[in-house]
Amino acid sequence: MRNGRGYRLGDLQLEIMKLLWRRGASRVADIQRELGADRFAYTTVATMLRKMEQRGLVRHREEGRTFYYEPRVSAEEVTRSTTTDLVDRVFGGSLADAVSHLLDMREVGPEELDRLERLIQERRKRHTSE
């Protein structure tokens, strides 16, 4: 959904998008197989793709009687929209609260902490040079 809230995808929709970002244009049967034919019926996948097309997430092209679906939005757009929505709705827009929560809830090794510190330092440098 592309409005003030951005893209909100369910689990299956996100799985399909990840698959399409990785594979590119794909048939319903290809998508179903990759998702696990034992998990989702062909008709379930086809219905979900039609709904995603109505929302502007994917588009299809026809080759003969075969539809090939491809993403209309990038992984970066969905990631940006989803994380912004999460920080705004759950943490009241506070990035510090979101990061603090993640640090409390996840095991974070020294390498990742070093990386976080470098990212913060890089951001500080950008702000002081502006």
pLDDT tens across 96-117, in order? 999 999 999 999 999 999 999 9
Domain boundaries, the chain: 1-93
DSSP secondary structure of the chain:
--STT-----HHHHHHHHHHHHH-SB-HHHHHHHH-TTTS-HHHHHHHHHHHHHTTSEEEEEETTEEEEEESS-HHHHHHHHHHHHHHHHHTT-HHHHHHHHHHHS---HHHHHHHHHHHHHHHHHHHH-
Residue 48: predicted pLDDT? 97
What per-residue confidence (pLDDT) applies to 2?
A: 44
**pTM recorded for the entire structure:** 0.79
The band of 1, judged by pLDDT with boundaries at 50, 70 and 90, is very low
Query: What CATH topology corresponds to 1-93?
Result: Arc Repressor Mutant, subunit A (1.10.10)
| Res 92: pLDDT | 96
List the structure tokens of 46: 């086809």
**Structure confidence at residue 128 (pLDDT):** 87
**Is residue 38 over pLDDT 50?**
yes
Give φ, ψ of 70 to 5 degrees: -145, 155
